[in-house]
Structure 1
Amino acid sequence: MFIESLRSLYNRDLNKLKAEIEAYQNEENLWKTDKNIANCGGNLCLHLLGNLNSFIGAELGKTGYVRQRDLEFSLKNIPKAELIAKVEATVIMADSVLGQLSDDDLKKEYPLEPLGYEMTTDYFLIHLITHLDYHLGQINYHRRLLDI
């Protein structure tokens, strides 16, 4: 089933996000920027969590999550342990919500048009995993470049 593949990929990549945050040797470097690097690892992590909790949790799972997107990029110095706990909660949320979806649900139109056009739920869930992976790569690079 396609939904099982999605659950597996979200679980895998959110756990990679957790591992990246854990791998920062110096907690302060999570929030460091430099020259042409405008977004730090901590803010990219918050952005990913806000994105998934909004589009999967609130929209598909009716979790009641309210996104504050501006804060995803303006908050600073959140303890690493708190970020990790937020990632762990997002892993649980995503798996739970995705586990409740049927193949028929995936073929339905996604309730919003966040990309500016109509799309099916499965299409948007694929988009969200690619968005997660794009920023996961940025966090990995940020850590290796600036966590010295």
Structure 2
Amino acid sequence: MIINTLIKLFKRDLAKLKEEIELYNDEANLWRVTQGISNASGNLCLHIVGNLNHFIGAEFGNTGYVRQRDLEFSLKQVPRAELLQQVDQTIHVVENTLIKLTAEDLQKDYRRRADEDAMTTAYFLVHLTMHLSYHLGQINYHRRLLDLD
């Protein structure tokens, strides 16, 4: 079933997110931006965590998570250890939520906003994996470009 595939992909890419955050030589560079790069890796990490906890945790798992999207991009200097802890918690939320979804749940209509066309829950979950991968690539590039010895 697609649920097992989604769980594997989310766990793989969230583990890679942790690895990227850990690979920074200088923790301060997690928050560095430069011309042409407007989002620091630390903020992208917070955004990924917020996005998945909101859409998977709160929307599908009824976790009660309340997203503060503006803070995902405005908070600075969150310690690396705290970022890693948040990613670990997100892995747990994603896995525990997705494992409970049924084939019927995946075929239900889902809308992020009332003015948006409906999509299936399965389609939206695939979208979320691609969203994670997109930002993971940005973080990898950011690290290699801005975290110079």
Is TM (by shorter chain) over 0.5?
yes
Which stretches of structure 1, 4 residues or longer, exceed 3 Å deviation after superposition? 111-115
Structure 1 gap segments, 5+ residues each: none
Count the aligned residue pairs.
148
Corresponding residue for 1:16? 16
- Superposed CA deviations along residues 27-85 of structure 1, whole A, max 9, x for unmatched, are 00000000110001000000011000000000000000000000000000000000000
Alignment of 1:1-148 (within 5 A): 1-110=1-110, 112-113=112-113, 116-148=116-148
CA contact (8 A) 1:113 1:119 kept: no
Residue 117 (structure 1) shift? 1.7
RMSD across aligned positions (CA): 1.2
Kindly provide the amino acid, as one letter, of the partner of residue 70 in structure 1: D
Tell me the distance in 1 between the aligned counterparts of 2:100 and 2:30: 34
Tell me the distance in 1 between the aligned counterparts of 2:131 and 2:96: 20
Residue 146 (structure 1) shift? 0.3
Cα distance 1:56–1:90, how it changes in 2: closer, same or farther (>3 A)?
same
TM-score normalized with structure 2 length: 0.96
CA contact (8 A) 1:53 1:90 kept: yes
Cα distance 1:77–1:114, how it changes in 2: closer, same or farther (>3 A)?
farther
Residue 113 (structure 1) shift? 3.4
CA contact (8 A) 1:31 1:76 kept: yes
CA contact (8 A) 1:59 1:111 kept: no
Structure 2 gap segments, 5+ residues each: none
Residue 112 (structure 1) shift? 3.2
Tell me the distance in 2 between the aligned counterparts of 1:2 and 1:103: 9
TM-score normalized with structure 1 length: 0.97
Q: Percent identity?
A: 58
SS in structure 1 of the partner of residue 76 of structure 2: coil
Residue 134 (structure 1) shift? 0.2
Cα distance 1:31–1:114, how it changes in 2: closer, same or farther (>3 A)?
farther
Tell me the distance in 2 between the aligned counterparts of 1:92 and 1:142: 26
